[in-house]
Homo-oligomer: A and B are copies of this chain.
Amino acid sequence: MVFIDACFRKKTPYTPIWMMRQAGRYLPEYMQVRNKAGDFLTLCKNPQMAAEVTLQPVEILDVDAAILFSDILVIPLEMGMELRFEKGEGPVFNRPVQNWKDLDSLYEFPEERLGYVYETIKIVREKLPKDKALIGFSGAPWTLATYMVEGRGSKTYATIKKLIYTQPDFMHALMIKITEAIKAYLIKQIEAGVNAVQIFDSWASALEKEKFFEFSWEYLVDIAEFIKERYPGIPVILFPKGIAGYLDDIYGTFDVFGVDWGTPIDLAKAKLGSRYVLQGNMEPTRLYSKEATKEGVEKIIATMGAKPGHIFNLGHGMLPDLPVENAKYLVELVHDLSRR
């Protein structure tokens, strides 16, 4: 698989590409399944339908990898936290985890309850062409913790940060519990058939440098090294969003570093390119315009394309109103320009 080879810095005929949130609302085919499912969680929990939307972008756009369709919050959900999606607000946990009692009440083995995910993986891997990779994923411990503690999206993360600065022991206990669950969950995804795993730390940028390394990165590396020891053939991709200022201190054993669009790719290359394969990082809103897309691709390929060590991606997820036509154009362009 071109994608897997690229993760291991092997020579590939062209730069592989996939897009974060490539199975999403911008695709009419996705919306059909989504509407049939009714609500979002039902879609996540239905292996047939989840597999169908996982496969769509490979069929429609010819990307080099599918990514499992699911949600990062299935872990806290299956730890017993009641989850609902509020229109215009996003996910809400009615009873956030804010003290030792809340923490003790969480079920420790959510991976046992996530059979619908492994079932989805099996269906997808069966139907997916052999040369296309299937990426499994999880939210990062820190990002999951923000939702679990705040109860909903937050601008300031004041509740969880107050805990970090006033009750670090409690916070570490929470992080450990989440981390152990993620390890078990990703191992089960691998056993079900994914070819690579990505861990999304979407709210990495909510932490100052010192606390990022203490409460986020340490746990990410712990998970990555746990997986690499057991499955060295499975590439591990870490994507901590918005930490351009912290690159000097990145460490650990993993394969691919996901670069968000706020981290200039030449900066990431200079700081990390010799140690990790880089994945990224076109500004997703460039896809509103073909010209802007072309300009973005050319710049990234010019910086990264000459040698192995790059996987093309957006620097963040697809937006619901981006034109499918431009996404197709992007995939073709990346394949074409990197083939030369």
Contact = CB atoms under 8 A, between A and B. Distances in A.
Interface of A: 156-158, 161-162, 164-166, 205, 208-209, 211, 242-246, 248, 261-264, 267, 283, 285-286, 288-289, 292, 315, 319, 321
B285 A162 contact: yes
Contact of A245 (B164, B211, B245): B245
Contacts of A166: 288-289, 292
A285 to B, nearest CB: 4
B165 A292 contact: yes
A156 B319 contact: yes
Contacts of A292: 165-166
A288 B161 contact: yes
Q: Could you say which of A243, A283, A315 has the most chain B C-beta atoms within 10 Å of its C-beta?
A: A283
Contacts of A242: 205, 242, 262
A21 to B, nearest CB: 12
Contact of A244 (B158, B244, B288, B289): B244
Identical copies of this chain, number: 2
A264 to B, nearest CB: 5
Contacts of A164: 285
Nearest to A281: B208
Interface of A is mostly: helix
A62 B242 CA distance: 35
A123 to B, nearest CB: 32
Contacts of A205: 242, 262
3 closest Cβ pairs, A-B complex: A244-B245, A161-B285, A165-B292
A165 B289 CA distance: 6
Nearest to A263: B245
B158 A319 contact: yes
Nearest to A265: B209
Nearest to A261: B208
Given A165-B292, A288-B162, A321-B158, A208 B283 contact: yes
A203 to B, nearest CB: 12
A166 B286 CA distance: 9
Contacts of A286: 165
B264 A209 contact: yes
Nearest to A163: B288
Contacts of A283: 161, 208, 211
